[in-house]
Amino acid sequence: MSIDPITLSVIQSGLQQVCDEMDLTFSRAAFSPVIAEANDRSDGIYSAEDGSLIAQGAGGLPVFVGTMQYSTRTLIEMIRDGRVPAPEPGDIYIVNDPYLGGTHLMDVRFAMPFYRDGEIFCWLSNTGHWPDTGGAVPGGFSASATSVEQEGLRLPPVRLFKKGVLDQEIYSIICSNIRVSEQRIGDVKAQAAALLVGEARLARILDRYGDDVVRAAIGELRRRAAAQMRANVALIPNGTYRSLAYVDSDGVVNEPLEIRLAITARDGELTFDFEGSSPPCRGPMNSVLATTHSAVYLAMRHIFPDVPISAGAFEPLTIVRPAGTFLDAHYPRPVSGCAAEVSQRIAEAVFAALVEALPDRVTAAPAGSSGNFALGGVDPARGAGFVMYQISGGGYGGNADHDGLSNGCSTIGISKAPPVEIMEQQFPVLYHRYALREGSGGAGRHRGGFGLDYEIELLRGHATASFVMDHGRFGPQGALGGRDGEPNSVTVWQGGRAMVPEHLSKAQDIPLEPGDRVRVKTPGGGGYGDPRDRDPTLVAEDVRLGRYTAAQAAALFGKAAAGL
In single-letter form, the type of residue at position 541 comes to E
Measured CA to CA, the distance from residue 30 to residue 190 in angstroms comes to 5
Which of 452, 385, 467 minimizes the C-alpha distance to 417? 452
Domain locations in the chain as residue ranges: 5-226, 363-533
pLDDT per residue, tens digit, the chain (564 aa), is 788 999 999 999 999 999 999 999 999 999 888 898 888 899 999 999 999 999 998 888 878 877 899 999 999 999 999 999 999 999 999 999 999 988 889 999 999 999 999 999 999 999 999 988 988 888 888 888 999 999 999 999 999 999 999 999 999 999 999 988 887 899 999 999 999 999 999 999 999 999 999 999 999 999 999 999 999 999 999 999 999 999 999 999 999 999 999 999 999 999 999 999 999 999 999 999 999 999 999 999 999 999 988 899 999 999 999 999 999 999 999 999 888 899 999 999 999 999 999 999 999 999 999 889 999 999 999 999 999 998 898 999 999 999 999 999 888 777 778 889 999 999 999 999 999 999 999 999 999 999 999 999 999 999 999 999 999 999 999 999 999 999 999 999 999 999 999 999 999 999 999 999 999 999 999 999 999 999 999 999 999 999 988 888 998 888 656 565
Contacts of 496 (CB under 8 A, 6+ apart): none
Which of 187, 215, 171 minimizes the C-alpha distance to 126? 187
Which of 141, 53, 84 minimizes the C-alpha distance to 387? 141
Which of 346, 323, 285, 283 minimizes the C-alpha distance to 66? 346
Residue 449 near residue 395 (C-beta atoms within 8 A): yes
Measured CA to CA, the distance from residue 408 to residue 260 in angstroms comes to 26
Measured CA to CA, the distance from residue 37 to residue 32 in angstroms comes to 8
pLDDT value for 561: 61
Measured CA to CA, the distance from residue 501 to residue 117 in angstroms comes to 59
Which strands sit side by side in the sheet containing 239-247, from one edge to the other?
239-247, 257-266, 269-273, 317-319
The helix or strand, by DSSP H or E, that contains position 299, with its residue range, turns out to be helix 289-303
pLDDT value for 559: 64
Residue 487 phi, psi dihedral angles, 5° rounding = -75, 165
Residue 148 near residue 333 (C-beta atoms within 8 A): yes
Measured CA to CA, the distance from residue 350 to residue 312 in angstroms comes to 20
Which of 226, 262, 229 minimizes the C-alpha distance to 244? 262
The answer to whether the predicted template modeling score (pTM) of the entire model surpasses 0.75 is yes
Give the number of other CB atoms < 10 A from CB of residue 469.
Answer: 30
